[in-house]
Every structure is written in structure tokens, then in C-alpha cells.
């Protein structure tokens, strides 16, 4: 089985000696200090579309707000192309000054020295420390006692609902969705909504999309008050009973009446935004899509039907890709930039993401931002992928989960067999060394 990471082991260990790669990336090395004027910082990110436009606005804001630095962004294709190029730049020690990474991908890069640590004392001087971030989000940036990432946001998997449809179905209370404290409660709500729409009560697109299946499944799984553990070498700690219960609940939602048995992501978006369903399971990144549809809606955390409020999420985070000879001035300015961006992230909130910086989400201005303020609590309950070198956004891990789970969701086959297939895939992942870890490569 091919190692499920964007670079294979030979690429990681040989990247520093690739003359062509070094030539290509030479323009990204820190420039010599200018005699006067702002320092230019090279910043790589993978945000495009609406998020890319919003990020450009944030960068314009920080550029105008001070005169010490100017950000020069480079936008690369989401997923494998981005992480491959960033890894090769870091392996060669000629990386950009700062970059965006998903928080769930950081752990896999740490052993190979592909990321440099942030100076926590300097960050604290700039107003960035544990007191200004939700605890689970701040903790995610620490790897073996080193601060390797600083979160800009959390972007959780949530429940969107059409308030007009839900009002007719009698599932609102004071204009907000009623609490559902068991699987039966939630299924009854979806049934009531389906009675109003005459079609489906819920939209959920999952066909061929392992990430979508995983996001809902892991939200439900962690609602049991547990998380998966996947230590290098194994064995994995996966509660089979909780996993089966979570998949069984997903099967009950996908019965053809509550939600379509066979729906891809685009079909689910279209169904909800045209008023043909009353609920929609998706990520906060679809906020602007739904707003553009001009339907009355609100957003809430997915009900804690198994007891514990949780929200599967990832975070766009700032990292320092490894540089062999970092310029002291540029490195200090990178710290300033990583502190300035969370402080100025209200525009990021308008796009749907939950800012990680608490002074933003606890402000009076944010309290008036709807529906964002209605799901801000999710930041306190985020659950990331199980920490492992092969997990995280854009990884093959989520695709493997989808391959294991889709037969059960599509055809109603035994969910226990699906969990067994998933456990077998995790066992194969755990038997492989981290390609980014030179020690692991020699074992």
C-alpha cells in the first residue's frame, strides 16, 4: 500500500538535494534586509474561491495597519499540490517566511524538522497565549512541548436549518431549533420536517466523499465521550460499539425519506438551498452559499444525541516552515503577522469560520453577527482527527474511511463489517513509518 502522505520517503529525505527544486524555490527565501521601509514577508496559503477573496481582504488590512512589513502571498492548489510543494521547500530549508496549514496536518511534519517552533515568549508579548484561545484549539498547536502552529479559526461540521420550514414542522422554540437529546428525538424532528417539505427532511451529500462521511461519523462517535487513539506502531484504540452505533444512526437518516439514500455533495447543497429540505449537514464554509440562496436559515451545532456536545473541525493555522538560516528580523515580523491576523479576523467570521481569537468572538460586535454567533460555542467543543502522521484534512485516511463506510450507508449492509474494514485500514497505516521522520525511515 502506498504511504498515505503527499510525499514518499525518498522525496522527503532527498528534497534538500534537488537542484531543480532549490532553483525553483530560491525566490521564496528571505530577502536581504532593506536599508529602510517595510520588510516583505513571503506567505503561502491554499485558500481559493470565497475564502481566497476573504483572505486577500485580511491581508490588505494588516498591510495597511502597520509599516513594519508587507505580506506577499502565494496561493497554491488545495490539498496534495500545496502540501507537497510546502514540504519540499521546508525540507530544503528554503521555505516561505510563514504559511497556512490545517492543524491536523502539523503532527505528521514535526518529526522531520519541517516546521520551526514559534517563540511563545514573543507571542505572549504580542497578546497571543493560552488565555486568548479556546482550550482545545490552543492545545492543538502544541507538539511535544513545542508551539508549532497558531490557529486563525475553527471550521466545524454543523447543522443548517430552514427556519420557515422548521417553524411549520413545530421543531423550533423561541425561533431556535429545539434540543434533541437522543437519536430518537432527532429522527422524529427530521420526520416532522419531511412531512412539511413533502420530500426529504434532511440533506446530506456523501457519495464518493470520504471526508463528508468522516466528519459526521466522528462527530457522532466523539459524542459518546471518547476519541480514537492511533499511536505509531499501534494498536489503535477504537470503541467498536460506539462506532457501530454511530454508523447505524447514519443509516437511519439515509432511509430515502429522511434523507436521500444516494446523494453527492452538490446535490445536497442544491436541495437545501432551493427549499426542498429543511436541514443540511455540512461545514460552516457553505455559509455564503446558503446566504446567496436567500432562504431563511439558522445554524446550530449538531445535536448531542449520544450525550456529549462535540463538533468535528479543523483549523487554518499559521506555521513557520523550516528555514536553514532564518533572518532574525523577518522571523520576528512573522510573529507579529501571526498575532495581527487573529486580532483582525472579524472578516473571517463573516465568511462563516469561527475566529480562534477569543476577544473577537466575545465582542459585542460578534454577538450581533448572525447566524455566526449562534454556533460560536462549537469552538469550545471541537474534535480534531485522531493525532497521527497519516490523518488530517486532505489525507488518504479520510478516503479510506469512506471506502469502508460507504457500502453500509449506500446499501444498508452490516455496519459492524464496515467498522472492521476501517480498523483493518488503520492497522495498515500504523504499520508504516512516518515518511517525514528520518528515524522512522531507518527502522
Encode pLDDT of 113-124 as tens digits: 999 999 999 999
15 against 110, higher pLDDT: 110
**Per-residue confidence at 17, pLDDT binned at 50, 70, 90?**
very low
Three-state DSSP state, 255: coil
Three-state DSSP state, 303: coil
How far is residue 181's CA from residue 304's CA, in Å, rounded to a whole number?
Answer: 6
**Per-residue confidence at 36, pLDDT binned at 50, 70, 90?**
low
Radius of gyration of the chain (CA): 22
What's the confidence (pLDDT) of residue 438?
67
Is-contact 8 62, C-beta < 8 A?
Answer: no
What does the pLDDT average to over 88-117? 93
Alpha carbon 17 to chain centroid, angstroms? 32
Cis amide bond preceding 371, omega within 30:
yes
How far is residue 218's CA from residue 46's CA, in Å, rounded to a whole number?
Answer: 25
| CB within 8 Å of 35: residues ≥ 6 apart | none
268 against 14, higher pLDDT: 268
Encode pLDDT of 53-70 as tens digits: 999 999 999 999 999 999
User: What grid cell was written down for 188?
Assistant: 422524529
Q: In order of start, what are the domains of the chain with their CATH numbers? A: 9-155+314-379 (3.40.190.10), 156-313+387-430 (3.40.190.10)
How far is residue 361's CA from residue 377's CA, in Å, rounded to a whole number?
Answer: 9
- What secondary structure does DSSP assign to 120-131, as a single string? HHHHHHTT-SGG
Look over the chain and give the mean of its residue pLDDT values, rounded to a whole number.
91
Q: Indicate the DSSP class of residue 356.
A: S
Instruction: Tell whether the model's pLDDT for residue 235 goes beyond 60.
Output: yes
At 263, give phi and psi (nearest 5°).
-140, 130
**Which of 9-13, 39-43, 141-145, 252-256 is predicted least confidently?**
9-13
What does the pLDDT average to over 15-44? 54
Determine what percent of the chain is predicted with pLDDT higher than 90: 84
User: What grid cell was written down for 14?
Assistant: 532527498
Instruction: Tell whether the model's pLDDT for residue 7 goes beyond 70.
Output: no
Instruction: Tell whether the model's pLDDT for residue 5 goes beyond 70.
Output: no
Model confidence, pTM? 0.90
The residue with cell 454508523 is 247
How deeply is 363 buried, as exposed, middle or buried, from its count of CB atoms within 10 A (0-12, 13-18, 19+)? middle
Angle at 208 between CA 206 and CA 213, to 5 degrees: 40
What does the pLDDT average to over 293-316? 98
Taking alpha carbons only, the member of 234, 243, 240, 241 closest to residue 214 is 243
How far is residue 14's CA from residue 11's CA, in Å, rounded to a whole number?
Answer: 5
What's the confidence (pLDDT) of residue 3?
32
How far is residue 198's CA from residue 187's CA, in Å, rounded to a whole number?
Answer: 16
What does the pLDDT average to over 363-383? 98
User: What grid cell was written down for 207?
Assistant: 457519495
What does the pLDDT average to over 234-263? 97
Amino acid at each position: 500500500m502506498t504511504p498515505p502522505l503527499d510525499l514518499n520517503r525518498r522525496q522527503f529525505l532527498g528534497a534538500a538535494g534537488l537542484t531543480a527544486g532549490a532553483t525553483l524555490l530560491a525566490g521564496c527565501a528571505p530577502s536581504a534586509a532593506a536599508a529602510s521601509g517595510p520588510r516583505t514577508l513571503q506567505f503561502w496559503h491554499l485558500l481559493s474561491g470565497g475564502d481566497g477573496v476573504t483572505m486577500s481582504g485580511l491581508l490588505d488590512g494588516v498591510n495597511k495597519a502597520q509599516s513594519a512589513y508587507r505580506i506577499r502571498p502565494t496561493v497554491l492548489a488545495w490539498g496534495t499540490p500545496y502540501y507537497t510543494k510546502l514540504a519540499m521547500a521546508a525540507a530544503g530549508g528554503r521555505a516561505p517566511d510563514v504559511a497556512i496549514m490545517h492543524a491536523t496536518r502539523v503532527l505528521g511534519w514535526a518529526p522531520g524538522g519541517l516546521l520551526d517552533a514559534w517563540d511563545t515568549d514573543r507571542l505572549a508579548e504580542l497578546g497571543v497565549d493560552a488565555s486568548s484561545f479556546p482550550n482545545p484549539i490552543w492545545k492543538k498547536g502544541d507538539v511535544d512541548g513545542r508551539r508549532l502552529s497558531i490557529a486563525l479559526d475553527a471550521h466545524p461540521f454543523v447543522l443548517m436549518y430552514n427556519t420557515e420550514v422548521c417553524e411549520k414542522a413545530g421543531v423550533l422554540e423561541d425561533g431556535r431549533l429545539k434540543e434533541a437529546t437522543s437519536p430518537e428525538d432527532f429522527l422524529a424532528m427530521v420526520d416532522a420536517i419531511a412531512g412539511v417539505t413533502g420530500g426529504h427532511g434532511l440533506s446530506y451529500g456523501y457519495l464518493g466523499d470520504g471526508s463528508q462521511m468522516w466528519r459526521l461519523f466522528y462527530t457522532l462517535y466523539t459524542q459518546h465521550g471518547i476519541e480514537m487513539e492511533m499511536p505509531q506502531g499501534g494498536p489503535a484504540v477504537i470503541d467498536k460499539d460506539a462506532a457501530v452505533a454511530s454508523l447505524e444512526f447514519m443509516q437511519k437518516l439515509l432511509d430515502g425519506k429522511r434523507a436521500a439514500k444516494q446523494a453527492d455533495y452538490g446535490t445536497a447543497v442544491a436541495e437545501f438551498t432551493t427549499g426542498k429540505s429543511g436541514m443540511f449537514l455540512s461545514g460552516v464554509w457553505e455559509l455564503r452559499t446558503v446566504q446567496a440562496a436567500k432562504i431563511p436559515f439558522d445554524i446550530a451545532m449538531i445535536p448531542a444525541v449520544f450525550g456529549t456536545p462535540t463538533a468535528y473541525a479543523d483549523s487554518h493555522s499559521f506555521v513557520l516552515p523550516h528555514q536553514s538560516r532564518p533572518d532574525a528580523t523577518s522571523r520576528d515580523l512573522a510573529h507579529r503577522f501571526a498575532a495581527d491576523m487573529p486580532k483582525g479576523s472579524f472578516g473571517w467570521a463573516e465568511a462563516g469560520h469561527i475566529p480562534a481569537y477569543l476577544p473577537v468572538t466575545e465582542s459585542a460586535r460578534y454577538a450581533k453577527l448572525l447566524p455566526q454567533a449562534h454556533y460560536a460555542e462549537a469552538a469550545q467543543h471541537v474534535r480534531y482527527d485522531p493525532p497521527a502522521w497519516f490523518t488530517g484534512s486532505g489525507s488518504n485516511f479520510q478516503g479510506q474511511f469512506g471506502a469502508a463506510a460507504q457500502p453500509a450507508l449506500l446499501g444498508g449492509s452490516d455496519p459492524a463489517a464496515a467498522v472492521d474494514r476501517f480498523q483493518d485500514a488503520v492497522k495498515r497505516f500504523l504499520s508504516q513509518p512516518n515518511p517525514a521522520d528520518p528515524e522512522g525511515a531507518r527502522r
